[in-house]
């Protein structure tokens, strides 16, 4: 049967448009043709040679329709339909929606967003504040939101600002200072803490609010 082993290797590396002989062992051979010979054997031809196998070792011979030598190609996996992308609302629209939800002036939330992130959804500060209204990871966790999601980020920022205004009885500068430096710093100094960054932050938003208010008043005339 050493010849059969060699024949199997040859048959396995080529493609045939002839016949397939199946052996009792389960092995199959692709051959050009076959014929019965004396001694109860079957002669299997391949190329310019042949091999003789006892007829009892062959369980069947049938036409081989394979003619291509190209490797089988696995079917492509089914692709699940992709939900259409919903464009994110503009940063200013997100600010207005959050302001309306929490009863804040739209100009205030817009001014805070401008000062915090410059209306950039992917903004990240050197201290690790994330997104449009620059939520710190710990603050976002406490508020139960994903700071990477612009909608959740802005909503939580407006909610936090509203809570600070309530905490400081509507004192805007106290609330803004707490948004920037933390309520602990405002409580410690009983007002805007003497931090240059925080003082500039409060002053910038105050100026922007006045500018927006004057613009709105001029348009209303």
- Residue positions annotated with a catalytic role: 116
| Cα–Cα nearest to 134, from 65, 181, 86 | 181
Instruction: Round to whole Å and give the CA distance between 37 and 213.
Output: 107
Helix (H/G/I), strand (E/B), else coil: 188: helix
All residues at 6 or more sequence positions from 132 whose CB lies less than 8 Å from its CB, including other chains: 91, 94, 95, 113, 116, 117, 119, 120, 121, 123, 150, 153, 154, 157
Q: Is the CB of residue 182 less than 8 Å from the CB of residue 149?
A: no
E-assigned strand segments in the chain: 19-23, 28-31, 33-37, 41-46, 49-54, 58-63
Phi and psi torsions of 111, nearest 5°: -65, -40
């Amino acid at each position: 049967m050493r010849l059969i082993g060699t024949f199997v290797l040859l048959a396995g590396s080529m493609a045939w448009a002839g016949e397939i002989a199946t052996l009792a062992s389960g092995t199959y051979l692709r051959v050009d043709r076959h014929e019965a010979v004396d001694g109860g054997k079957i002669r299997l031809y391949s190329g310019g040679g042949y091999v003789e196998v006892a007829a009892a070792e062959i369980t069947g011979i049938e036409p081989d329709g394979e003619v291509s030598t190209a490797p089988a190609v696995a079917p492509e996996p089914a692709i699940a339909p992709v939900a259409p992308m919903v464009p994110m609302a503009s940063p200013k629209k997100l600010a207005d929606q959050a302001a309306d939800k929490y009863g804040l002036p739209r100009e205030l939330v817009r001014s805070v967003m401008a000062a915090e992130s410059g209306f950039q959804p992917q903004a990240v500060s050197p201290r690790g504040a994330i997104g449009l209204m620059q939520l710190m990871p710990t603050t976002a966790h406490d508020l139960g939101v994903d700071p990477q999601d612009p909608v959740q980020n802005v909503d939580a920022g407006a909610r936090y600002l509203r809570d600070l205004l309530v905490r400081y009885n509507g004192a805007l500068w106290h609330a803004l200072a707490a948004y920037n430096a933390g309520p602990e710093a405002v409580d410690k100094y009983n007002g805007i803490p003497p931090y240059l960054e925080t003082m500039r932050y409060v002053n910038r938003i105050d100026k922007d609010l006045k500018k927006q208010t004057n613009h709105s008043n001029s348009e209303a005339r």
